[in-house]
Each structure stands twice: as C-alpha cells, then as structure tokens.
Structure 1
Amino acid sequence: MTIPELFAAAAGADPARPFLTYYDDATGERIELSYLTLANWANKTANLLVDGLGLDAGSVAAVDMPAHWLTAALLTGCWSAGLAVAHEPSDVDVAFVGEDRLGEAPKAPEVFGVGLRPMALRLAQEHPGVVDFLTEVRTYGDHFRPVAPVAGDAPALVALPRGGQRTQDEIVASARARAQELGLAPGARVLVAGERLRPLDWLLTPMAAHGSVVLCRNAEGVDLDARAASERAVRLDLG
C-alpha cells in the first residue's frame, strides 16, 4: 500500500470527520482540519509540484518545517505526487522552508517560504529568491490526478542519517507497526506535543489507525492532560 492509498483508506466513507487539530500556544491558534480539508491542501501542493514545477516521480523535496498542519499538507502532497522527501536537505529539486528558518534555507532550484502565523497568512516579509508558498499554492486546484499511480516501491524518504532510503510501502508498514506498538485502537484520537516530532508518529501513525491527532506546538507550561481530556484524546508522550 502507498501513502496516498493509506490516506484514502483512513478517510473512508466520512472524509468530513476531523483528522488533525493543531494548537500553537505561542499565538493562541487552534485550527481543525478534516480529512477532506487536508486532502484539498495536499492536492493543491501536488498540483503545484506537477503542473507548476514540472516535477514527477523521482524528484526530491526538502520539507524543513516544524510539526505543523501545513507540514502535514506538504508531506502528503509530495508523497501523492510521487516525490521523495529528503531527511538531509541537499541536492533537492524543491525546498519548503518554515518562515522561522529561511536564513538557513537549503539550495534548490525552487525555494518556497511557508508562513507559520495563524489564519495561513503569507510571509511577513519578502526574501530574495524565495517564493511565498501560501500565496502560490492557492491558485492550484483542490483535486489531483497523477499521470501514473504512485508505486509502492517508489522512494518516500531519502538521504537518511545512516544512508539509504525507505519506500512508500515500507513507510506504510512502519506506520501500521507503530500504531500497533502504541496500542492504538481503530479510530483512536491521540494528542502529541513537540517541535521536532517524527512525521511517522504524529502524521502517519494516526492515519494508519484511521484516527485523528491533536498536535500541540509551543506547549510549554500547558496542562496537556486537561487538553487531552477536553479533546477526548489519549495523550502520547513521544519524548
């Protein structure tokens, strides 16, 4: 199974149900995305990559972002278009960089700056050689149809710390195994907090459980147990 197939299976017959609830306690932002809304953002991203940039299977993207709802859209969009995501962002075809990290943006033919402020606002200021992602992506359609289906043996992660790569079907298998390891029941709703969490844990594992996730950023000093209770979620301490 590929990652787009995993997402479609998780969305199931009710794609309007919540998938990702995002909190940023530094700004007071709370945003909730259904499977359908996340799919729309991911499809816009995939259309930008394929129709806008002419990229296809075999191309490589860097996603230098914190754990964020836009990161979920970017990763899902890249994998839907058949791109691999580089763990170490060098020698890539396109880079997506959070607004707070643009001073260290990797070199790429195309660099998109991604605003992290509430309400999906554009970048606070212009940066030479950087395209505003949130301005650009909105011009693309909500539906994406790949030229060819994404293959299960297509690279999904490359330039890993110990070298090598992992394919789409290997990532799906890891997400399912992680869901089982964490004891997630089908449809589980989990709460996680952190800045540098692995997408496997906060994005793909809840997806593999056909569940949902409450993702908290800048949550130092917040009573996360109380928030988990109010969100009817199980808190996961991922370190």
Structure 2
Amino acid sequence: MVSITSRPACRSGIAVGSTYEHRSSDPVSAPPRRRRRPRLAWSSTDGERLELSGRVLANWTAKIANLLVEEVDAGPGTRVLIDVPVHWRSLVWVLGTWVTGATAVLDAGDGEGLVGDGADPDVVVTTRPERWLDECDVVTAVALPSFALRWPGTLPGAALDGSADVAAQPDALGPLAPASAGHPAIVSGGLSTSFAELAAGPASAQGLREGTTAIELALAIEALTASSGVVGLRG
C-alpha cells in the first residue's frame, strides 16, 4: 500500500511545469534545486526510510536523463519500460525519462511478450534484468536498497548498472531534443496519458488506473509539483 502525504517545509527541488514544450520548468532546471531541505520522504514496508532533498532529486533526474540520451538518444518517441515497484528509484527514473521527452511504460507483466500497447521498448529499467535481456538491447539493472552503490554481484549479460552507471553521469543536464505536451508521458495497461493530461491532474487522466504503479508515481510527482512541503512516498 502506498500513501502520499505532505507536511510544511520550505520549497526546494522538484518542479514539473504545466508545459513540456520547453525545459525551463523541468525538475532539473528549476532554480530551487540548489536548496538542501528534504523534498521526498521514502519509507518501505520492511522499515527502510530515506529523505531526499530537492537537490538530490534534481541530480538523480539529470543523471538518468543524460544516461538515456547517451545510450539511446532518448527523446519524444523513445519508450522506457520501468519494471520497478513503487519506490523512490522508480520515481526518479520516471522523472529522468520525462525530462528527455520520452515515454515511461509502467506496470510490466510476467506473460509472454512485452507489455502495455505491445510496442517494443527502447530501454528496460528493471529489478530483474535476466527477464528482459532477450527482449531489449538496452537493459538497466536497478538494485532497490536505497544505499546500494552498484548492482550486487555480477551484472547479467550486457546490462547497465542503474546505480554505478547513473552516478557516473554529469550532474548538469545535457542537450535535449524538442518535446511537446501532446507526446505520451505514460503508457500503462495499454492506455496512454500525454504530458498535457498529466499537467491537468493525473487523478482525472483516463489512462491512469487506481491501484497501479503508474497512478501512484504520477500522484507523487504531482504532489512534488504542487506542494512546497515534504512529500511522503511509501511502498
């Protein structure tokens, strides 16, 4: 079960703009990212707790976006399958994907073939890389422990390390392809939600179903945008 709460604090960090035609309001380019107050409070059912400042969230977002651009020249039309449960790591991968203008495909299944609307992803971000090595050329292995600096053990095949390879990227956001509000931001359960629909409010978006990873992460990001407090995310 995931709960999203907010408590008063000075604004710092994430700000997702109402338009995605430019990047001046993106999570990385927002000036408040320089502040170091907590912005996201993550807790898990097994007792793990972590607070991330706006600056840390912005750095993760920029690094992920840079990695996606480096690996697949990510931009509008690029599909990033995020096969990671609700977690602060899945949230920053969604943010990094959106900053490039690419589409986050969520709610992966275990059946034959790929998920969502059936189109192949360009990148798979996953906690189970062996599952996807034969289905996608670029697979990124994500270790869920919050303080993991690298994938535990040997990376399978040619998989990238969702901790070490991301950390090696620059903190500053590199060049990006033009994007627009009409491009799909999320594909979940075969339904597509555009950046414009998300900006109008994810709770009312027809493509986001209650109880899914997609709606939980979208609501958390909306809370980060709308609130100047600390947003709590639990998974």
Q: Normalising by structure 1, what TM-score?
A: 0.70
Give the greater-gyration-radius structure (CA). Answer: 1
Q: Does 1:23 align with 2:27?
A: no
Distance in 1 between the 2:80 and 2:228 partners?
A: 26
What's the CA shift for 1:57? 1.9
Contact 2:129–2:140 under 8 Å retained in 1: no
* 2:219 partner amino acid: D
Q: Percent identity?
A: 28
SS at structure 2 position matched to 1:119: coil
Distance in 1 between the 2:103 and 2:76 partners?
A: 8
Structure with greater contact order relative to length (CA < 8 Å, sep ≥ 6): 2
Q: Could you say what the CA RMSD is over the residues aligned between the two structures, in angstroms?
A: 3.0
- Tell me, which stretches of 5 or more residues in structure 1 are unaligned? 179-193, 218-239
Deviates more, 1:109-118 or 1:196-205: 196-205
Q: Residues 18-57 of structure 1: matches in 2 within 5 Å?
A: 18-26=38-46, 28-57=47-76
Contact 2:75–2:179 under 8 Å retained in 1: no
Distance in 2 between the 1:6 and 1:176 partners?
A: 21
Decide which structure has greater helix share: 1
SS at structure 2 position matched to 1:120: coil
What residue in structure 1 maps to residue 148 of structure 2? 120
Contact 1:6–1:208 under 8 Å retained in 2: no
Distance in 1 between the 2:45 and 2:29 partners?
A: 32
Q: Which runs of 4+ in 1 moved over 6 A?
A: 8-11
What residue in structure 2 maps to residue 95 of structure 1? 124
Q: Normalising by structure 2, what TM-score?
A: 0.71
- Tell me, which stretches of 5 or more residues in structure 2 are unaligned? 1-17, 107-114, 206-210
Distance in 2 between the 1:146 and 1:171 partners?
A: 24
What residue in structure 2 maps to residue 198 of structure 1? 216
* Structure 1 residues 51-71: Cα deviation after superposition (integer angstroms, max 9, x where no partner): 243222211100111111111
SS at structure 1 position matched to 2:196: helix
